[in-house]
């Protein structure tokens, strides 16, 4: 085997491991653990703790009534439940509408500094031992608070990640279909991660932490939820995953809006790799480092590059290899996958439904946006933590 072949199979192995292999290994490790280790149940609580539902908002006048209705429908003792809105530079009717709800406390700042700055500012007013973060444009199920707080009965749990679900009955089939399938797979991996040791990060749509563990973050932080939750895990706490607590959110209004969101997330991932660089040390963080690199770091760094190098390397192998039949088959399979993704894109522009082709289309779409996210990160003003609103389908 020559050098070119070695490089090709290393890159192919990285791509396979990132998206399929890690899931298989994770499933096997969880099954082995379940055979040999009996987990102690901490789900019974003698008394429910006081909690604060923490909502950051920027120009959310269109969803205030719906969000507050959802908050009032949550099944949790009212005397132990506080609702806090931290509005960041909102210049629409968000604050005016919130005045109609005496059960919500609003902390408003006229200067727009971004979501992370709003979190850093608002957390100082939280007096309850548990704080639950959620977005203004999401609806959470009525039992979510009860389900999440049960995990804190385990003193090792510092954060509880809820499940993100995508409303499939929205306008853009490609954006919603692809995003929905992606989050179903993500939820599957998060559940396995949590069963093995700890979930690898939480999604901002719904997660809870012990208030005392909140750590102030730089205002330019792009993935505040991810970095905050992993900072807690680095303190030797566990991020539990609760699929019985979920946030329902509409998919992006179209693929252009979904692209903006994916590029920003990818840029935030690159930023997080640097800011959480200590977590790359397996001698200090053990299995958490293994999970973090396998589930997150590879996706935001090496894997997209490896993926898009496979075709040109495959062509070179056919040119310079005498026994090229095998490599011709591999190239044909790759080209068919790219063709399927391209045709999926074409169908999406015509609003034609084809769930099968959403898979290659969305997969390629995600990886292309990771590359774009790298350049977005380079261009991003370091001190700018403001977030660009992404339009959701209605």
Given this model, what pLDDT does residue 391 score?
A: 46
Per-residue pLDDT tens for 40-67?
776 666 789 999 999 999 999 999 999 9
Strands (E), the chain: 51-57, 81-88, 104-109, 130-135, 139-140, 157-167, 206-210, 238-250
Rounded distance between C-alpha atoms, residue 238 and residue 200, angstroms: 9
Per-residue pLDDT tens for 155-174?
999 999 999 887 765 545 54
| Global confidence as pTM | 0.89
In Å, how far are 32, 134, 185, 245 from 208, measured between CA atoms? 29, 9, 22, 11
Per-residue pLDDT tens for 117-145?
999 999 999 999 999 999 999 999 999 99
- Select from 130, 385, 350, 186 the least CA-distant residue to 268: 385
In Å, how far are 294, 296, 305 from 17, measured between CA atoms? 8, 12, 14
Given this model, what pLDDT does residue 384 score?
A: 54
């Amino acid at each position: 085997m020559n050098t070119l072949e070695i490089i090709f199979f290393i890159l192919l192995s990285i791509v396979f491991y990132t998206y399929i292999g890690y899931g298989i290994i994770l499933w096997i490790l969880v099954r082995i653990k379940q055979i040999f280790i009996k987990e102690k149940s901490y789900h019974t609580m003698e008394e429910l703790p006081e909690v604060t539902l923490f909502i950051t908002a920027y120009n959310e006048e269109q969803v205030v009534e719906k969000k507050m209705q959802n908050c009032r429908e949550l099944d949790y003792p009212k005397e132990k439940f506080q609702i806090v809105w931290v509005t960041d530079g909102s210049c629409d009717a968000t604050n005016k509408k919130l005045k109609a709800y005496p059960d919500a406390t609003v902390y408003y700042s006229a200067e727009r500094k971004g979501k992370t700055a709003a979190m850093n500012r608002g957390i100082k007013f939280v007096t309850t031992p548990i704080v639950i973060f959620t977005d203004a444009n999401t609806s959470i199920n009525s039992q979510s608070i009860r389900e999440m707080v049960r995990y804190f009965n385990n003193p090792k749990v510092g954060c509880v990640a809820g499940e993100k679900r995508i409303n499939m009955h929205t306008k853009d089939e490609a954006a919603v279909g692809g995003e929905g399938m992606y989050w179903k797979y993500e939820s599957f991996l998060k559940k396995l991660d949590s069963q093995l040791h700890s979930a690898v990060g939480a999604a901002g749509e719904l997660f809870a932490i012990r208030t005392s563990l909140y750590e102030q973050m730089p205002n330019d932080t792009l993935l505040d939820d991810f970095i905050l939750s992993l900072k807690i895990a680095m303190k030797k706490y566990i991020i539990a995953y609760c699929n019985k607590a979920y946030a329902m959110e509409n998919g992006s209004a179209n693929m252009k809006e979904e692209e903006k969101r994916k590029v920003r997330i990818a840029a935030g991932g690159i930023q997080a790799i640097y800011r959480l660089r200590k977590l790359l040390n397996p001698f200090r963080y053990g299995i958490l480092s293994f999970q973090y690199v396998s589930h997150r770091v590879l996706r935001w760094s090496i894997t997209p590059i490896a993926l898009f190098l496979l075709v040109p390397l495959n062509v070179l192998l056919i040119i310079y290899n005498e026994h090229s039949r095998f490599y011709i088959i591999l190239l044909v399979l790759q080209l068919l996958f790219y063709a399927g993704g391209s045709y999926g894109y074409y169908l999406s522009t015509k609003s034609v439904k084809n769930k099968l082709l959403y898979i290659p289309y969305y997969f390629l779409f995600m990886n292309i946006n990771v590359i774009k996210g790298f350049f977005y990160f380079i261009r991003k003003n370091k001190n700018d933590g403001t977030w660009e609103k992404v339009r959701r389908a209605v």
